[in-house]
Amino acid sequence: MQSVIKRDGQKVEFNLHRIETAVSRAMDSVANADAALLTHLCTEIEIKLSKKPALDIQEIQRTVEETLIEHQLTDVARAYISYRKSRDIERERRSSLNEEIKSLLMQSNDDLLNENANKDANVIPTQRDLLAGIVARHYAKAHILSEQIVTAHESGAIHYHDLDYAPFFPMFNCMLVDLKGMLCNGFKMGNAEIASPKSIMTATNVTAQIIAQVASHIYGGTTIDRIDEVLEPYVTLSYEKHLAMAGQWNIPDQEGYAHAQIERECYDAFQALEYEVNTLHTSNGQTPFVTFGFGLGKSWQAKLIQQSILNVRIDGLGKNKKTAVFPKLVFAIKKGINQQPEDPNYDIKQLALECASQRMYPDILNYDQVVEKTGSFKTPMGCRSFLGKYEHEGTELHAGRNNLGVVSLNLPRIALQANGNVELFFEQLQQQLLICKEALMSRIERLQKVKAKIAPILYMEGACGVRLKAEDNISELFKNGRASISLGYIGIHETINALFGDDAHLFDDPQRQQVAVEIVKTLKAAVDLWTQQTGYGFSLYSTPSENLCTRFCKIDQKEFGSIKGVTDKGYYTNSFHLDVEKKVNPYDKIDFEQPYPAIASGGFICYGEYPNMRHNLKALEDIWDYSYNRVPYYGTNTPIDECYSCGYQGEFDCTSKGFSCPSCGNKENDKMSVTRRVCGYLGSPNARPFNAGKQEEVIRRVKHLENS
- Residue 664 binds what, of Zn ion, other proteins, none (CB under 5 to 8 Å, by partner type)? Zn ion
Residue 383 annotated to the active site: yes
Q: What is the DSSP letter of 643?
A: E
- Using CB under 5 A, count the residues that bind Zn ion: 8
Q: Does 643 bind Zn ion (CB under 5 A)?
A: yes
> CB 321 → other proteins: shortest distance, Å?
14
Give the range of 177-185, 303-311, 428-436, 644-652 binding other proteins by CB under 8 A: 644-652
Q: What's the gap between Cα 692 and its chain centre? A: 18
Q: Which residues pair with 159 in a beta bridge?
A: 408
Part of the chain binding Zn ion (CB under 5 A), chosen from 102-110, 125-133, 635-643, 692-700 = 635-643
Respond yes or no: is residue 381 known to be catalytic: yes
Between 140 and 333, CB nearer to other proteins: 333
Q: What's the closest the beta carbon of residue 493 comes to other proteins, in angstroms?
A: 23
User: CA 485 to CA 466: how far, in whole Å?
Assistant: 20
Closest CA to 37 of 50, 20, 49, 51: 20
Which CB, 18 or 618, lies closer to other proteins?
A: 618
Residue 356 contacts other proteins per CB under 8 A? no
Helices (H), 123-224: 124-139, 147-154, 179-185, 200-217
Helix count (H) and strand count (E) of the chain?
24, 25
User: Residue 486's beta-bridge partner residues?
Assistant: 406, 539
Residue 645 interacts with, from Zn ion, other proteins, none (CB under 5-8 Å by kind): Zn ion
What does the per-residue mask of binding to other proteins show for 648-687, with x meaning CB under 8 A? Answer: xxx------------x------------------------
Q: Give 200's contacts (C-beta < 8 A, 6+ positions apart).
A: 231, 234, 235, 237, 238, 262, 265, 266, 269, 305
Name residues contacting other proteins, limited to 572-601 (CB under 8 A): 585, 587
Minimum separation from the CB atom of position 368 to other proteins (A): 19
Return the number of the residue (485 or 617) whose C-beta is nearest other proteins.
Answer: 617
* Interaction residues for Zn ion, span 655-674 (CB under 5 A): 661, 663-664, 666
Q: Which of 6, 18, 321, 618 binds other proteins (CB under 8 A)?
A: 618
CB of 302 to other proteins, least distance (A): 30
CB of 639 to other proteins, least distance (A): 11
Is 385 among the catalytic positions?
yes
Residue in 114, 173, 199, 539 annotated catalytic: 173
Q: Is residue 515 within 8 Å of residue 422, measured between CB atoms? A: yes
In this structure, which amino acid lies at residue 662?
Answer: P
Tell me, letter by letter, the H, E, C secondary structure of 214-276: HHHHCCCCEEECCHHHHHHHHHHHHHHHHHHHHHHCCCCCHHHHHHHHHHHHHHHHHHHHHHH
Selected binder of other proteins within 51, 143, 615, 657 (CB under 8 A):
615
**β-pair type (633-637, 641-643):** unpaired
The residue count of the chain comes to 708
Cα dihedral: 295, 298, 301, 307 (round 10): 40
* Active site positions, annotated: 173-174, 381, 383, 385, 403, 541, 546, 680
| Chain residues in the site for Zn ion (CB under 5 A) | 643, 645-646, 648, 661, 663-664, 666
Chain residues binding other proteins by CB under 8 A are: 585, 587, 610-616, 618-620, 622-623, 626, 647-650, 663, 705, 707
